[in-house]
Structure formats: C-alpha cells, structure tokens
Structure 1
Amino acid sequence: MGPPICAATEPAANPAILKASESVEQERARAEADPQRPVFHFRPPARWMNDPNGTLFHGGFFHVFYQHNPFGDMWGHMHWGHARSKDLVHWEHLPIALWPSEEKGEGHCFSGCAAIDKSGKPFLLYTSVPPKAEDRPHEQWAAMGSDDLRTWEKHPGNPVITLDQSGAPRLGGAWRDPFVFRDAGRTFLVLGADLGEEAVIPIYEAPDGDLSKWVYRGILYRRPKSEVPFFECPNFFQLGDKWVLFYSPYRPVEYAVGRFDREKLTFTPEQEGKLDASDQFYASNVAFGPSGECILFGWVRGFPEGRGWNGCLALPRVLTLSSDGRPIQRPVPALETLRGTPFSIRPMRLSSESKVLDGISGDRLEIRVSFRPESAAVFGVRLRRSEDGARGVNIGWSGGDLDIAGFRVPLEDWQRTDSVELEVYLDKSVLEVFVNGGETAITRVLSVPKTDLWGELYAEGGTVEVMSFEAHPLKSIW
C-alpha cells in the first residue's frame, strides 16, 4: 500500500494539513482494495480529486498539484494535493500543499497554477472561495513555496487580485482559475470570468515580474454566453509559432489555435474544436519539459461515489500541432516501460465475423491495431468481453463514425483516411483511445463486471482488413 504521505518528520505542523492527511490515510486501504480502480493512471492515495493544477517542471521533476477533497469521495472541502514524477509515469505522493484558511474566511482553494517568480521563488496562484454561507465574490490568492515545492505558506499580501482592480470592468464574482504565461520577457495571467452576457478571459500583467502584484490589461478573448457559458480552467500558451487556448465550458474541453496580438493583448482563433471528444476528460492543464516538450494533463471524471476514491488524471500526453494547426495528442513514450509480454497477430481479413483473441485477456492493456475499411459497416476491437460474448466494450467504426464504448464520435472530412489506426489504453474502469496518430482522442469511464476480461476483433455487414495488431499487458505504477 505504500508509506503514509505525510509523516511526522514532514514539515506539516500545520494542523489543517495534518487533519486532512490523516483523513486520507483512514480511507486508503478501502480505496486500494477496489478492483475497478485504475492502476497505471495517477490518482491520490484515497478520496476525491478533480482538476490538475500547477503543472510544471522544476528541480528535475514534473510536479502536479490537483483539486482534492481529503474528507470524502465527492466534491467538497477543496484542498490542493501534490505529487511529482521524473518520467510522467511513476509518481511520488507529497504532502498536501494548500488548505482553506478558515480563520481568514476561506472555504475552498479552487484551481490555479504554479510559477517561479523573478527571484526564483516558487508561487502558487489560485482562486480563494468563501464558505457557501457567505455571499462574497471570489478572490485570487498566492502561496509561496520552499525550493523543493514541498511546503507552502499563504502570501501575507493576499488577495493579490480583486474585482475592484483599478481599470478593470465589473466582472462577475465567480471569476476563477488563474493561469500564468510569459512572452517576450513579460509575465501575464489569465482567468475565466463573465461580463454581462459575455464569457470573457481577462488578462493581467506583473510589470516587474513580482507574482504578487498584478495590473489589469484588458480582455484577451470573449464569446457570447449563448455560445460559451464560461471559460473554466483557461490555458493560454505558445506552441511553435502559434498560440493555443484551452478552456472547459461545462462540456468537452475546447481548443482554439491562432494569433496573439502582443500590442493589443488580444487573441484571434484560426482553428477551433474539441480537445477530447468526451466530457469525461476535463479541466486541462499543460507543462513544458526540459527539452521544451509540451505535456497535456486532464482530469478523468464520471466515477461512482462510495468506493473511498473518485477521479484520476488522464495519461499525460505529448502535445504538438499538425501542419494546419490542429492539436495532436500522444501518450508519453515512457509508458512503454510498463509493458509485459507482447501478443500480436498476422494481417487478416474479417468477413461479417468475429475472432476471439485467445492470447489476450485482462483489464490493464495497451493495444495498437490498424484497419483498412472495405465493405464492413461496423468493425473494431471489443475489450472487457464476457466469456459467452454477450457483453463487451466496442472500440471501432460504426456507420462512418467512431464507436468508443457506446459513445459515438462523428468525424469531420479531414479526419477520414484510408485506414483507421487505434492506440488503446485500458486501465480497469478507464479507457483512452487515440485515433490516427493522435488526431482524435476519446476518454471514457467504464462500468463492467470485473469478470469480463476477454477480447475479440469483429466485423459486421462486410469485410475489413486487419493490417496489424499488437497488445501488451501493462504493470501497475503503484
């Protein structure tokens, strides 16, 4: 089960952190015993998690902070959990980083980001939310960290941004989720807000690089609420020669790729779409690695309550842009270190039939399969199949669209090619599918009997060529 995440030797004399950590430990054994809990995805030792926050590479580690309820497996009591990794696969749990300062009128520590200030001091910037009973607007707070990011203290000058900031319009009181980016030697911050009938992303600047002092600069991007109800968890960053905006609008995460006007501080999209086709991938965040690689993180949601745990992160994804400016997502290569003995089959043609894969079974799998469509109306690979074939999770093609565990994904013309290549990761109750080299990504939470462990290839209404098939069992990271 692993060591406790917060021992007496940790700098956690803070009674709020000690209380939260003890609560997590109390539920750890029950969470670990659940056979549906993912084992090669990141998750807390127990209890609830949601949005990844403060993703960054620092001191030789990738760090992930995350929204965490240490007192239950449902949303509430928002703290910030914390973990780090050298390879984005194996994770080390660290002490809880942020807690609601109840004595200062704080009810929750909502989402935000991590950044290093001009002097090298680590900062967390987040949305401070009052208790539900208090009708006060949100504020943007800061916390300062030790060099190893293990301990944090609230900034004495909190709040660092308020609604009555000089020159700013009267934004709605639920503004939230700050994100820091830098460009041409300048330091900026964006967050989600509303302004009358518009959803907006205001932009602030730290003129001298001090992350506790911000000046309002304008509205980076805006949309009518009839189109975008709110910009939750906005991420804004440069990738190559383009600028990328991700946001979570209470539905699947959306992207916009385009141009950033450095004089007007406004953003103009050129390509737009869904980052992941499913709303079970939510609240994106990004970090840049030591070689400049962009790593995408997201929260997998949709699990049932009552198991002692709820939520995990999607597999970290290497993010690039296609030649026409669309996001390409591929799981990090280090996942290959989890592979067990491979199983493969020779190319074959299916004709309105299924082929049970005798050499593959289980609920922790990586599968790479390539099809060449012919006359079959439906084809693909079926996992978590019952022994009698009555049940299973379809991953494939149906009527010209993707069918991922019963979730239909319509394809645009640019997504249709002569072959269908699927990269599939099955982790107990979590399924992630990447299509045609990461042009399309789909995340699903499954609810299937734990005894359904078989696999098969299938075709209906004609023929399909199976060009290649390889599968690996994957080891637990815990």
Structure 2
Amino acid sequence: MVIDQKLQKAEEAIKKTTQNINPRYRLGYHIMGEGNWINDPNGLVQYKGEYHVFYQHHPYDENWGPMHWGHVKSKDLVNWEYAPIALAPGDEYDRDGCFSGSAVNNNGELTLIYTGHNYINQEEDTFYQTQNIAVSTDGVVFEKVGQNPVIAHPPEDSAHHFRDPKVWKHNNQWYMVVGNSTKDQTGRVILYKSQDLRKWEYVGVLAQSDGTLGYMWECPDFFELGEKHILLISPQGIESKGDDYNNLFQTGYFVGEYDYEKNEYEKGEFLELDHGHDFYAAQTLVDEKGRRIVIGWMDMWESEMPTKQDGWCGALTIPRELTLGKNNAVSMNPIDEIVELREAKSVELENKSISDYHLAKENSSLLEIKAEFDLTDCKAESVGLTIKGVEEEEVVITYHIRDEKLSLDCSKMGKKEDGVRTTELVNDGKLTLRIFLDRSSIELFANDGMKTMTSRIYPNEERLGLMCFANKGEVNVKEFTYWKLKDIWK
C-alpha cells in the first residue's frame, strides 16, 4: 500500500505538538488527543477483540480546523492506546474535512463511513457534504474506496447540512441514518439502505422537528434498547426552557416503536441525555456482551477552553452503559470495567448522621467518590458534596430535597459565567451520588444513572478535600467512600 503523505504529515505535526504540552489539565483516564484539537467521538466499534474509538481531530492546531480521524483502541474500555491517524482530508469528495461518522465490521473488513466536507465559499460558510467509505483489514491502516462518494447528494428538499452517517445491520440489510436539515431550516434524520455498503437507496425521513427542536439534527444514532427504539440526536438551535436546553447545543433522545417495513417511527418527547455543561455528539456501539455503550464529547461549542493555551483541546467521556428504566427513561452508568481504575480506598462515613459537614482531607486529582444519603426522615433542606480547593475554589453538588432538584455548580472552578446546571431528580427515600473526578472534568451519576451531569472544570488551587454536607437539618449518611484512580496515560 502506498504511504499516504497526508496522514504522514499529520502524524509528524502531532508528534511535534506533544513536546510542548502543558500537563496541568491533562486527563488521567479519559480519551483525549495526543495534542491539538479533538471533538466528536466517531466509529465506535469492537473489532478483532479490541474496542476502537475514533474522534474528530485537527492535528495542526489547538482550534477546530480541517477534520481528520484520530484513533485510540483498547482491550477493556479502560486502558487506551493511540493508533495512527486513520483519515485525512484532501481528496475530491472530502477536500476540506473528514467529518463525523461510524464504523462497522463487514465480514472481517473494518469499514468507516464518514462525511466529506467541501467548501464552496469558506468565508460565507457555504459548502456541500457527501458520504464516503474507507476500509481496513488490520483495524489500523485505512484505504478510501474507489466508489466514493457512496452518497453524493442529499434529497432534493434538503439544505446543505447532510452529515454524520450512523450505519447498522438489520435482517442482512445495511441501514444508515444521516443528520439533515430541510430548506426551511427544520432539523431531521433521514434513512438509507444498502446491500453492500457501496450503493445506497434513499428510504425517507425517519423523524423530523415539530418546529421546536432546532434547525439541524447532528450525530444521529438509532438502536433498540429494552424492546424500544431509541433515536439519539444532537440538535442545534433549541431555545433554552427553564432548567432544560441551557447549553449552546444539546444531546438527547426519543423513545418509540419502529416499523422497518413502513419506515414509521412513533415516538415520545425529546429528553436530554446529560444535564451538565459539557456533553455533545454522543455515539453508541453494541459490544459482544450485548451492552449498549455510549461515549460523548466532553466539551461544548463556544465555551471557555483554557487548555488551548496548553497545546491541546477536547476530550471524551468515560464509556457508559445505557439501559431503559422506569417510564421509558434512559439511564447511563459507568461501564463495570471502570472499577479497574481503583487504587487506594478510603471509607469516610458509614451510617452516620451529620448536621453540618464532614471533610475528607484528600488532595488527589483522580478520584471516584460514592455517597449515599438516607432521605426517609431527613429534616435538612438540602444535602450534597463539595470538592474544595485550599482557598476560594470549589465545585458544589446540591440536592434540594423538597424541590427534588439536583444542581452542579462549577462557577468557582473555571466556569465563572453560566456555571450552574440543574435538573429534576425524583427520590424514593435515598440519594446516591457516584462521581468521577479527573484533572479537568467531573462526571456525576445520580440515583443509579437516572440523571447524569458532565462538566469540564479548571482548578488553579491545590485541593483541600471532599466535603459531605447537610443544610438546615440532619441527614444520615449511609456511605461516603472514595478511591484514588490510576493514570492510564503515565
């Protein structure tokens, strides 16, 4: 195979960048680029005994630019290693970017399906987008196929937004959903089918906005979960509404019933998947254990990104398992394997009442924290956890018992503007919090994943410790435990 000069050049650029990276906010157990910019997770797949995650990547700059596909792989979803950059733009059908897409194992051939981005006028942001394929037999070196683009144009009633193909197999037929926008700027997801991944037939619209759900539905994913069909989308252009839709863009889902023969999707309301500041463009895979695993981009467009000063930007969430719970709500919980990160364990409280606070003096940056509060006869107004710096800095997680609302306040740790996120959380007499803390991120799973909140944080102070608290009354803390976690990149 001829060495791709574009890929070689990108690899050299990344190696050069890594020599000058400031490590202060580099994450300990999350997927991030070796340097420079990354965004959406792409091509989540299990292939030949390894999990592969690709991601949107600009290897030449810490800002977004012509998209490549970065690549990591793992045997256990916990310990990741970098693989060479998989895709570089510059061919006639992907001149200005290899945008987001997915991956499938096609009888031993690992196939990437991605969007080619092509500017007509970059200053005016006019462009056209195509769907393309690249293949590999070793899961490392990929070759774009001669039939590209496999879908050259969107349907006639489309605007130029036509991207993020997600492909799966059902009854020996390949299907593809693509994010799309109509000429009158209505977000939607459209559906194609194919026998061979090369020739695609347009089936029609799978789902469309009713006028309240934005102008473009990015990064669609369509799958079965608990005998229901879930449509996962990342809409752009939804107006904020109370505690909902407070990020620039959101990721959320519909739950419904789907008929393949008629292409009819009867769905419920759109629900946000994560309620923190930094969760977008999520994608899923089904692994060999039958689990539906999701990973999201752990950042948000147009937000503060202090790591740009350090020579890198962007990260992905820890892998999470999706399940369908009560009232057809999707729950997210860390995959079971994540416990392999645990090192030293500290039990701070067990079945102990507190009426003010309990401080665990622990200054590690990489922690898993578990706290369970008994709310059955609790007189306190609110309970929660604080991650405290030695002086002013803190992240505060508060559960307001009467209102049944959970809030995450990062305003004193890198999010001065718009630092608080809040969501409803029903309790059945208890509150459980499971928190994953890394050098510049926090991921919160409440009441067994009924609600999650993911945010980037940017501490400048040393850490003082972890504080478990109750406001205006007493609470019984059933458990307050934490583990130091290992740094997989060291």
TM-score, normalising length from structure 2? 0.88
Which of 119, 128, 133 is residue 131 of structure 1 equivalent to? Answer: 119
Q: CA deviation at 1:279?
A: 4.4
Give the letter aligned to residue 260 of structure 2. R
Pairing of 1:354-373 with structure 2 (within 5 A): 354-358=357-361, 360-373=362-375
Are residues 21 and 12 of structure 1, via their aligned partners in 2, closer, same or farther at CA, if it must alter by over 3 Å?
A: farther
Which residue in 1 is equivalent to 2:267? Answer: 269
Q: CA deviation at 1:278?
A: 2.5
Pairing of 1:120-269 with structure 2 (within 5 A): 120-131=108-119, 133=121, 135-145=126-136, 147-163=137-153, 168-197=155-184, 198-206=186-194, 209-250=195-236, 251-269=249-267
- Listed one character per residue, the Cα deviations across residues 251-296 of structure 1 (whole Å, up to 9, x for unaligned) are 2211111111112112221354111112411101111111211111
Q: Which runs of 5+ in 1 are unaligned?
A: 1-10
Detail structure 1 runs of 4+ shifted over 4 Å in the superposition: 102-105
Which residue in 2 is equivalent to 1:15? Answer: 5
Is 2:390–2:461's contact at 8 Å kept on the other side of the alignment? no
Q: CA deviation at 1:431?
A: 0.1
Give the letter aligned to residue 308 of structure 1. G
Pairing of 1:76-115 with structure 2 (within 5 A): 76-102=65-91, 106-115=95-104
Give the letter aligned to residue 187 of structure 2. A
Are residues 387 and 120 of structure 1, via their aligned partners in 2, closer, same or farther at CA, if it must alter by over 3 Å?
A: closer
Which residue in 1 is equivalent to 2:314? Answer: 311
Q: CA deviation at 1:12?
A: 8.0
Give the letter aligned to residue 150 of structure 1. V
Which residue in 2 is equivalent to 1:8? Answer: none
Q: 1:386, 1:173 → 2: CA distance? A: 47
Q: 2:461, 2:266 → 1: CA distance? A: 48
Is 1:347 the equivalent of 2:351?
A: yes
- Listed one character per residue, the Cα deviations across residues 105-142 of structure 1 (whole Å, up to 9, x for unaligned) are 6111110111233x543221111011363644211111
Give the letter aligned to residue 339 of structure 1. R
Is 424-433 or 319-328 further displaced after alignment?
319-328
Is 1:199–1:222's contact at 8 Å kept on the other side of the alignment? yes
Pairing of 1:21-32 with structure 2 (within 5 A): 21-31=11-21
Residue 315 of structure 1 aligns to a residue in which SS?
Answer: coil
Which residue in 2 is equivalent to 1:375? Answer: 379
Residue 76 of structure 2 aligns to a residue in which SS?
Answer: coil
Residue 249 of structure 1 aligns to a residue in which SS?
Answer: strand
Pairing of 1:417-456 with structure 2 (within 5 A): 417-456=428-467
Residue 6 of structure 2 aligns to a residue in which SS?
Answer: helix
Q: CA deviation at 1:189?
A: 0.5
Give the letter aligned to residue 465 of structure 2. W
Q: 1:149, 1:12 → 2: CA distance? A: 17
TM-score, normalising length from structure 1? 0.91
Count of residues in Structure 1 that have an aligned counterpart in Structure 2: 454
Residue 395 of structure 1 aligns to a residue in which SS?
Answer: strand
Which of 273, 276, 281 is residue 278 of structure 1 equivalent to? Answer: 276
Q: CA deviation at 1:103?
A: 5.8
Residue 309 of structure 2 aligns to a residue in which SS?
Answer: coil
Is 1:107–1:132's contact at 8 Å kept on the other side of the alignment? no
Are residues 103 and 191 of structure 1, via their aligned partners in 2, closer, same or farther at CA, if it must alter by over 3 Å?
A: closer
Q: 1:323, 1:105 → 2: CA distance? A: 44
- Listed one character per residue, the Cα deviations across residues 401-445 of structure 1 (whole Å, up to 9, x for unaligned) are 212134232315xx3321110000000110000000011111011
Sequence identity of aligned pairs in percent? 31
Are residues 105 and 277 of structure 1, via their aligned partners in 2, closer, same or farther at CA, if it must alter by over 3 Å?
A: closer
Q: CA deviation at 1:91?
A: 0.7
Q: Which runs of 5+ in 2 are unaligned?
A: 237-248, 411-419
Q: CA deviation at 1:226?
A: 3.3
Which residue in 1 is equivalent to 2:58? Answer: 69
Give the letter aligned to residue 126 of structure 1. Y
Residue 15 of structure 2 aligns to a residue in which SS?
Answer: helix
Q: 1:378, 1:311 → 2: CA distance? A: 34
Cα RMSD, aligned residues only: 1.9
- Listed one character per residue, the Cα deviations across residues 132-190 of structure 1 (whole Å, up to 9, x for unaligned) are 63644211111122x221111111111111226xxx44311121100112223321101
Residue 151 of structure 2 aligns to a residue in which SS?
Answer: coil
Q: CA deviation at 1:104?
A: 5.7
Q: 2:319, 2:339 → 1: CA distance? A: 13
Q: 1:101, 1:44 → 2: CA distance? A: 21
Is 1:36–1:450's contact at 8 Å kept on the other side of the alignment? no
Are residues 105 and 59 of structure 1, via their aligned partners in 2, closer, same or farther at CA, if it must alter by over 3 Å?
A: closer
Are residues 225 and 68 of structure 1, via their aligned partners in 2, closer, same or farther at CA, if it must alter by over 3 Å?
A: farther
Give the letter aligned to residue 53 of structure 2. V
Are residues 163 and 322 of structure 1, via their aligned partners in 2, closer, same or farther at CA, if it must alter by over 3 Å?
A: same
Is 1:73–1:308's contact at 8 Å kept on the other side of the alignment? yes
Give the letter aligned to residue 460 of structure 1. N
Q: 2:216, 2:9 → 1: CA distance? A: 34
Is 1:405 the equivalent of 2:409?
A: yes
Q: CA deviation at 1:341?
A: 1.4
Is 2:93–2:130's contact at 8 Å kept on the other side of the alignment? no
Is 1:138–1:176's contact at 8 Å kept on the other side of the alignment? yes
Are residues 231 and 103 of structure 1, via their aligned partners in 2, closer, same or farther at CA, if it must alter by over 3 Å?
A: closer
Q: CA deviation at 1:245?
A: 0.9
Which residue in 2 is equivalent to 1:5? Answer: none
Is 1:382–1:394's contact at 8 Å kept on the other side of the alignment? yes
Are residues 229 and 170 of structure 1, via their aligned partners in 2, closer, same or farther at CA, if it must alter by over 3 Å?
A: closer
Q: 1:75, 1:67 → 2: CA distance? A: 9
Q: 1:453, 1:115 → 2: CA distance? A: 46
